[in-house]
């Protein structure tokens, strides 16, 4: 469990690793940070399923829970790291509006190459009990330099009612980016995607819709290695602030009003080589559809979600990890009803489940089923038949040559993957859904420049 994992980390020579994280404008980009490996003196595989991330093993969750500050006690350079993500996307049919790539050639209509991001990170200890993951990214497809997923933590340990606990504060800019489990949206599979991939139009508020558009402060605790609880409040950022941070809002994008409460409760436990977690999380917000405040009211969105994680660590060569999440969103559309004639009330649900097998933290196949469904509302969802329903499967196989204890370097890491998405339904219809099927060739390179 997380607290006991921290104690093991302090005494076991292979128990520390670096933490991998995500990137923004497609908020499922995943990065391994060699600055964490430098700080701890350990390989990526100590903390990560597949030696690259972001899937966390128990030691990785303990490292994050305790504020990114664990160290081997030696002097280290400033904890900076870089990441380059590139992809080749092939869709089943030509896409109507292929995005141009600004620096590295024009994108074809269904064969697109893109350098999805080039990022610099501060990842590691800032001061005693204070650590951070902070990312600044250049998105080559959007041709923008912007702030990206960030999580700054203060954490302490203590004893309450005769049991150990960890408690801390988190300052972050993406609900669930601070979470310890890969069952929640910011860290969930697919861990790497591409900006040029076609995606369904409907998604819930908590499902990465607020990434980098809010700033939140919250407190969390893990008590007795069993119960985790967290409460945060997120403040939407104004247009001037977003522009200053490089997040250029799309014309007609939704804006938000007031502080958004976020909550998270989870129960976790180890049984031999088996690890289990079940939990709930959610958020509530008030939205101005299209940024239009002329209706004099807002849409009210409330997301309630449930998640589960299972991991099996039966041997050094084999690791199994599985996740599931269900999100239910209730929408009171007072503003949208007045402005665009939508329903007064809608609902939207999302379910995802995935299974990963890792062999020697080098060969890592994953499969996922995903489905989104909800009430018919042509005015609100903007689909041809008014349905937001989409579903399908993703399959990926990744190869990670570095990041292990016997790798020739712990300063650099790389990941190569093939990923295929097959839709059974897309934006409310089965007809033509397979036109959005896509094959991705993904490449990531990370390193510590100092």
- Residue 117 clears pLDDT 90, i.e. is over it: no
Question: 44-53, 98-107, 183-192: which range is least confident on average?
Answer: 98-107
- Domain locations in the chain as residue ranges: 2-447
Q: What is the pLDDT confidence band of residue 441, given thresholds at 50, 70 and 90?
A: very high
Q: What is the pLDDT confidence band of residue 36, given thresholds at 50, 70 and 90?
A: confident
More confident residue, 260 or 11: 260
Q: What is the pLDDT confidence band of residue 25, given thresholds at 50, 70 and 90?
A: very low
- Residue 283 clears pLDDT 90, i.e. is over it: yes
- Residue 99 clears pLDDT 80, i.e. is over it: no
- Residue 50 clears pLDDT 70, i.e. is over it: yes
What is the per-residue pLDDT for 4? 43
- Separation CA 260–CA 286 (nearest Å): 8
Strand partners, 144: 139
Q: Which residue has the tokens 């350990």?
A: 42
- Separation CA 41–CA 405 (nearest Å): 10
Q: What is the mean pLDDT of residues 355-368?
A: 97
Q: Identify the sign of the CA torsion 54, 60, 65, 68.
A: negative
Q: What is the mean pLDDT of residues 132-140?
A: 90
CATH topology for 2-447 is: Porin (2.40.160)
Contact status, residue 206 vs residue 305, Cβ threshold 8 Å: yes
What is the per-residue pLDDT for 327? 98
What is the per-residue pLDDT for 216? 98
- Give me the phi and psi of 5, to 5 degrees please: -65, -35
Question: pTM of the entire structure?
Answer: 0.90
Q: Which of 99-108, 134-143, 156-165 has the highest mean pLDDT?
A: 156-165
- Give me the phi and psi of 408, to 5 degrees please: -70, -15
What is the per-residue pLDDT for 330? 98
What is the per-residue pLDDT for 141? 66
Q: What is the pLDDT confidence band of residue 14, given thresholds at 50, 70 and 90?
A: very low
Tell how far CA 327 is from the center of its chain. Answer: 15
Question: 1-15, 31-45, 94-108, 290-304: which range is least confident on average?
Answer: 1-15
- Residue 111 clears pLDDT 70, i.e. is over it: yes
Contact status, residue 68 vs residue 19, Cβ threshold 8 Å: yes
Tell how far CA 81 is from the center of its chain. Answer: 19
Q: What is the pLDDT confidence band of residue 449, given thresholds at 50, 70 and 90?
A: confident
Alpha helices in 228-358 (DSSP H): 239-244, 334-340
Tell how far CA 211 is from the center of its chain. Answer: 9
- Separation CA 352–CA 324 (nearest Å): 6
Nearest to 194 by CA among 21, 397, 443, 447: 443
Helix (H, G, I), strand (E, B) or coil at 339: helix
* Environment class of 443 (CB within 10 Å of its CB; exposed 0-12, middle 13-18, buried 19+): middle
- Residue 136 clears pLDDT 90, i.e. is over it: yes
Return the percentage of the chain with pLDDT > 90, whole number.
71
Query: pLDDT of 184-230, one tens digit each?
Result: 999 999 998 877 788 999 999 999 999 999 999 999 999 999 999 99
| CB-CB neighbours of 195 under 10 Å | 22
- Separation CA 192–CA 398 (nearest Å): 11
- Supply the mean pLDDT for the chain: 88
More confident residue, 2 or 276: 276
Q: What is the pLDDT confidence band of residue 97, given thresholds at 50, 70 and 90?
A: low
What is the per-residue pLDDT for 202? 96
């Amino acid at each position: 469990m997380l607290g006991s994992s921290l104690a093991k980390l302090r005494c076991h020579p292979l128990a520390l690793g670096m933490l991998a994280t995500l990137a923004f404008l497609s908020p499922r980009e995943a990065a391994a940070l060699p600055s964490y490996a430098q700080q701890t003196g350990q390989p990526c595989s100590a903390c990560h399923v597949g030696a690259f991330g972001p899937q966390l093993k128990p030691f990785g969750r303990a490292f994050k829970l305790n504020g990114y500050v664990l160290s081997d006690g030696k002097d280290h350079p400033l904890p900076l790291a870089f990441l380059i993500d590139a992809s080749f996307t092939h869709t089943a049919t030509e896409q109507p509006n292929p995005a141009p790539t600004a620096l590295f050639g024009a994108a074809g209509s269904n064969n697109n190459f893109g350098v999805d991001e080039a990022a610099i990170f501060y990842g590691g200890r800032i001061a005693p009990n204070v650590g951070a993951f902070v990312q600044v990214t250049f998105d080559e497809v959007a041709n923008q330099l912007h702030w990206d997923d960030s999580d700054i933590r203060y954490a302490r340990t203590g004893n309450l009612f005769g049991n150990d606990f960890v408690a801390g504060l988190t300052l972050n800019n993406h609900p669930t980016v601070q979470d310890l489990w890969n069952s929640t949206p910011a860290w969930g599979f697919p861990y790497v995607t591409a900006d040029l991939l076609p995606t369904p139009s409907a998604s819930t508020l908590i499902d990465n819709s607020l990434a980098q558009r809010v700033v939140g402060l919250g407190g969390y605790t893990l008590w007795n290695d069993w119960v985790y609880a967290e409460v945060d409040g997120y403040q939407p950022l104004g247009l001037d602030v977003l522009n200053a941070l490089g997040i250029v809002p799309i014309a007609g994008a939704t804006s938000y009003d007031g502080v958004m409460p976020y909550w998270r409760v989870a129960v976790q436990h180890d049984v031999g080589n088996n690890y289990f977690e079940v939990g709930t999380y959610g958020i509530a917000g008030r939205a101005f559809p299209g940024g239009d405040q002329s209706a004099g009211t807002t849409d009210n969105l409330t997301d309630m979600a449930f998640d589960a994680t299972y991991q099996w660590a039966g041997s050094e060569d084999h690791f199994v990890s599985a996740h599931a999440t269900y999100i239910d969103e209730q929408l009171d559309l007072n503003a949208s009803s007045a402005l665009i004639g939508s329903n007064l009330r809608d609902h939207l649900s999302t379910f995802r489940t995935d299974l990963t097998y890792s062999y020697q933290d080098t060969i890592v196949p994953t499969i996922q089923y995903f489905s989104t469904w909800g009430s018919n509302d042509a005015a609100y969802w903007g689909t041809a038949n008014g349905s937001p329903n989409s579903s399908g499967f993703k399959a990926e196989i990744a190869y990670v040559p570095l990041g292990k204890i016997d790798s020739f370097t712990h300063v650099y890491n790389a990941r190569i993957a093939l990923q295929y998405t097959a839709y059974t339904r897309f934006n409310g219809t089965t007809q033509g859904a397979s036109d959005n099927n896509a094959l991705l060739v993904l490449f990531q390179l990370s390193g510590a420049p100092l």
